[in-house]
Amino acid sequence: MPQMAPLNWLSLMIMFVLILVMFNILNFYSFPYQIKQVTPKSKSLQINWKW
C-alpha cells in the first residue's frame, strides 16, 4: 500500500540511526587509551628573560 510507505521509511531511518549510534559507542569504548603522565621540566630548560 502506498499510504504506508512513509512509515516504512521512518522505521528504516530510526533503525539506521540506532545502529549507527550503537556502532559508535562500541568503537569508542572498545579501545582503552593510555593516560600520558606529564613529567616536570628540568630547570636547565627554563629561560630567564631580562628586559
Instruction: Report the C-alpha gap between 46 and 48 in whole angstroms.
Output: 7
pTM of full prediction above 0.75 = no
Instruction: State pLDDT tens for residues 9-50.
Output: 889 999 999 999 999 999 998 888 788 887 765 556 667 777
What is the model's pLDDT at position 42?
Answer: 57
Q: How far is CA 42 from the centre of its chain?
A: 35
Buried b (16+ CB within 10 A) or exposed e, 16-45: eeeeeeeeeeeeeeeeeeeeeeeeeeeeee
Q: How far is CA 47 from the centre of its chain?
A: 38
Measured over the CA atoms of residue 8, residue 10, residue 13 and residue 17, the dihedral's sign is negative
